[in-house]
Amino acid sequence: MGITVNNNLFTIHTKNTTYQMKADDKGFLLHTYYGKRTDDTDYSYLIDMKDRGFSGNVPQSNGDRTYSLDYIPQEFPVLGTGDYRVNCLQADLGSGVKDCLLVFDSYKVLKGKYALEGLPALFAKEDENVETLEIVLRDYYEEFYVRLLYGVFEETDVITRAVILENKTDKDINISRIMSTCLDINKSGMDMIHFYGRHAGEREMERTPLFHGITEIRSTRGASGHQQNPFVILAEKNTDEDMGECYGFSLLYSGGFNIQAEVDQTHQTRLVMGIDDSDFSWELKAGESFTTPEVCISYSDSGLAKLSHNYHNAFLNNLIRSTWKDRQRPVLINNWEATYFDFTYDKLIKIAEEASELGLDMLVLDDGWFGKRDSDYSGLGDWYVNEEKLGCSLKELAERVNDMGLMFGIWFEPEMISEDSDLYRSHPDWAMVVPGREPIRGRSQLVLDMTREDVLEYIKKRLFAIMDSANIQYIKWDMNRSLAAVYSAKLPGNRQGEVRHRYVLGLYSVLEALLERYPDLLLEGCSGGGGRFDAGMLYYSPQIWCSDNTDAIDRLKIQHGTSFAYPMSTVSAHVSVCPNHQNFRVTPFKTRGICAMQGTFGYELDLSKMTDEEKDMAKEQVRTFKQHYRLFQFGDYYRITSPVENREYTAWEYAAKDGKEACLSVVFTDQHGNPTPQLIKFKGLLPEKEYRVLRDNEEVGRYTGAALMNGGIILPVPKENYDSCQFYASVEQI
């Protein structure tokens, strides 16, 4: 069993980890242990009780000055208890002061995994041993309850956490901060690993020592954003890919977020994570409840690769629901970088014909097919097919594409509205604009108020009408600006702090309705590329456009950072033209293909302008990707070298879970005269087995797994800038 309870001592065991908390004799829920799997010992003996001075004492301490929540590790710290560290809850229970005092009330252990109404959450498979622990806290003075939820996934070494607030008083309560999780760690000197960036440069890894005080990672953009990601790691100083302790925290939420880590006066480290509270408030009326987004936490004592595997396995098995999760995804061609807005029927058909000839599976029609939409200044919201521009109906285009043996997909941006649109002229109040003020524009567009039921119904009606009109098997769902000056005409002024969260709930409700109506739809998330690449979106879309930057070399860093939390089968990656449209770099066609195979794989260029040599290479790339698809989709992913630390080359590997095959890819990022030999080592093989090793489909030798993992193999000398190679090792082919 994953959960044991002994006299208000709660111990959670997964395959390799133990998590423990205790309701003490004063009624406070203390955190006692999280780390390598151990026994059911009460680890509260590790809490060092002393009179710290200038640390508040709760009434239950009965004059004992050594008992202060200001240094005691807790499960759910709140403001107003004499604990001056970062907290999880700030609530005005009616006094006008944010003062709350939570004590233990009750608990339940339930079979299966809890669900969260209107929010993404991990789920248990039918044959999986998953349990839920629910611990209820109540305010010492008021009928205000906090339900702490823990989902325990033993095999994947992950624990999920969420919180439900319940107002059982006869008055309204104002919530100004609510975090989903807290972890108190009895140590300092840790590093925080986070993933910063910008548009076209998302999720670059940065490792920073935590100092005494507060380190904060936040998005105030109404989306998880290009600039930060709702996933962080706390790691020991010596932790690397293969050794050392580390803790991961992933927020399943697509809106603004806040992550704070604080090293306190006694050198303990606390991390809290949840909804961005910079512009948040929530009126919790009598009898109502509020549910937080879920956090997925995991621990590894054997390095970062193991932590990533925990997340990859959990997200693939217990988060992504799409019928495509276990199916081979289509290798697609997207027309955007081939034509931008300037497409015609003949151009699209020519691209489709070339795609069919090359063995691709799908044509995706990007922006510009609807309303008056020849630039990004107009048309958003008018989701009616522009048949004059298209040269036919959408149904006729899809049928023509299908007749070539290709599936058909389409681009939408349903959350946005252009001021030059029929929709805006009819419903200006549907846009988020503060009354009496000029709007804050982004990409020359405004944001639809996704908190309104009439807006949500309009979006669903137009989406369904388009979907029903043609054989559409894929949607790319885009969002091309951040939220600013957020306002809803449907809420009073004192409740505008609810809009950002209600926006996300509205988005999720539309996505849920779309997938319920079209369960076989392949939905790809996008927000100017990777501006909403988060675990919350993976609950609805099994893949996300990783970045608008399609340059293969820039993608090495972007995809490297993404891999720490997210399975690479969720990373949408395409081969594009050179010179690249974002940075004008020239990269070999072979290298562009190898980099795109790190993710879902596809093309984004004018296929008709490719040389015969490039077309032959594309056919081979498609064949290789399809041949090894299950390895790329379900194998364990290893970061062999880091593009941040290794200037010579970047390498990554997929290894089958049974260890019988692996594909190791290398991209050279520097060249030298009279180069020295470069050795590279495989991971995840069977030491005693012999492997046949191919380099770019030519055999280079046969070696044991022990030799390949410990001795390694010599890399070829690159023959041009940004050259690349792929090694395939297999027991089966011997």
- pLDDT for 609-627, tens place per residue? 999 999 999 999 999 999 9
Strand (E) or helix (H) holding 345: helix 345-358
Query: Residue 513: what are its φ and ψ, rounded to 5°?
Result: -65, -40
Write out the two tokens for 689: 């087995």
649 and 682 co-located in one domain: yes
Rounded CA separation 74/93 (Å): 21
Q: Is 430 in contact with 421 (CB distance < 8 Å)?
A: no
Per DSSP, the residues of 277-316 read -TT--EEE-TT-EEEPPEEEEEEESB-HHHHHHHHHHHHH
116 and 199 co-located in one domain: yes
311 and 378 co-located in one domain: no
340 and 303 co-located in one domain: no
* pLDDT level of residue 27 (50, 70, 90 thresholds): very high
- pLDDT for 132-175, tens place per residue? 999 999 999 999 999 999 999 999 999 999 999 999 999 999 99
Q: Which residue has 């996008």 as its token pair? A: 526
Mean pLDDT of the 647-656 span: 97
Rounded CA separation 611/617 (Å): 10
216 and 67 co-located in one domain: yes
Write out the two tokens for 430: 């549907």
* 563 in any annotated domain: no
- Residue 58 pLDDT > 80, yes or no? yes
Query: What are the beta bridge partners of residue 136?
Result: 106, 147
Q: pLDDT value at position 126?
A: 87
User: What percentage of the chain carries pLDDT values higher than 90?
Assistant: 99
* pLDDT level of residue 127 (50, 70, 90 thresholds): confident
Domain endpoint, select from 492, 514, 545: 545
Burial 201-222 (b: 16+ CB within 10 A, else e): bbbbbeeeebeeeebebbbbbb
The total number of structural domains in the chain stands at 3
- Check if 403 is active-site: no
* 497 in any annotated domain: yes
Burial 402-423 (b: 16+ CB within 10 A, else e): bebebbbbbbbbbbbbbbbbeb
Write out the two tokens for 246: 């580390």
CATH number of the domain bearing residue 339 = 3.20.20.70
Query: Residue 194: what are its φ and ψ, rounded to 5°?
Result: -135, 175
Domain endpoint, select from 545, 561, 578: 545
50 and 152 co-located in one domain: yes
Rounded CA separation 288/627 (Å): 53
171 and 207 co-located in one domain: yes
Query: Which residue segment(s) compose the domain that 430 sits in?
Result: 332-545
Q: Is 446 in contact with 424 (CB distance < 8 Å)?
A: yes
* 649 in any annotated domain: yes
- Residue 734 pLDDT > 60, yes or no? no
Rounded CA separation 242/303 (Å): 4
Maximum distance among all Cα pairs of the chain, rounded to whole angstroms: 84
Beta strands in 311-368 (DSSP E): 332-334, 362-365
- Residue 573 pLDDT > 60, yes or no? yes
Q: What is the mean pLDDT of the chain?
A: 97
- Residue 733 pLDDT > 70, yes or no? no
The count of other CB atoms within 10 Å of the CB of residue 155 is 17
Rounded CA separation 62/26 (Å): 10
* 611 in any annotated domain: no
CATH number of the domain bearing residue 260 = 2.70.98.60
Going from the C-alpha of 459 to that of each of 462, 491, 503, 591, 661, the distances in angstroms are 5, 20, 14, 40, 46
455 and 532 co-located in one domain: yes
Q: Which residue has 């794989």 as its token pair? A: 601
* 564 in any annotated domain: no
Write out the two tokens for 534: 């988060």
Q: pLDDT value at position 732?
A: 76
The alpha carbon dihedral of 81, 87, 92, 98 has a sign of positive
Rounded CA separation 275/258 (Å): 6
- pLDDT for 315-352, tens place per residue? 999 999 999 999 999 999 999 999 999 999 999 999 99
Task: Give long-range contacts, CB 8 A cutoff, 24+ apart: 83-87.
Answer: 83/56, 84/55, 84/56, 85/262, 85/264, 85/270, 86/214, 86/260, 86/262, 86/270, 86/272, 87/177, 87/179, 87/182, 87/272
Q: Is 713 in contact with 679 (CB distance < 8 Å)?
A: yes
* 622 in any annotated domain: no
- Check if 83 is active-site: no
Mean pLDDT of the 52-56 span: 92
- pLDDT for 667-677, tens place per residue? 999 999 999 99
Give, to the nearest 10 degrees, the angle between helix 453-469 and helix 394-403: 50
Say which of 142, 534, 551, 723 is annotated catalytic: 534
Rounded CA separation 481/445 (Å): 8
Query: 3-class DSSP state for residue 699?
Result: strand
- pLDDT for 164-208, tens place per residue? 999 999 999 999 999 999 999 999 999 999 999 999 999 999 999
Query: What are the beta bridge partners of residue 280?
Result: none
Rounded CA separation 609/587 (Å): 17
Strand (E) or helix (H) holding 460: helix 453-469
343 and 275 co-located in one domain: no
Rounded CA separation 230/531 (Å): 11
- pLDDT for 520-535, tens place per residue? 999 999 999 999 999 9
Say which of 277, 614, 661, 723 is annotated catalytic: 614
84 and 139 co-located in one domain: yes
* 503 in any annotated domain: yes
Query: 3-class DSSP state for residue 162?
Result: strand
Beta strands in 431-482 (DSSP E): 446-447, 474-477
Q: pLDDT value at position 513?
A: 98
CATH number of the domain bearing residue 650 = 2.60.40.1180
Burial 362-374 (b: 16+ CB within 10 A, else e): bbbbbbbbbbbbe
- Residue 10 pLDDT > 80, yes or no? yes
Going from the C-alpha of 460 to that of each of 468, 506, 509, 670, 674, the distances in angstroms are 12, 11, 10, 50, 62
263 and 336 co-located in one domain: no
Domain endpoint, select from 517, 545, 573: 545
* 718 in any annotated domain: yes
Q: Is 358 in contact with 593 (CB distance < 8 Å)?
A: no
Mean pLDDT of the 109-129 span: 96
- What secondary structure letter does DSSP report for 674? S
342 and 313 co-located in one domain: no
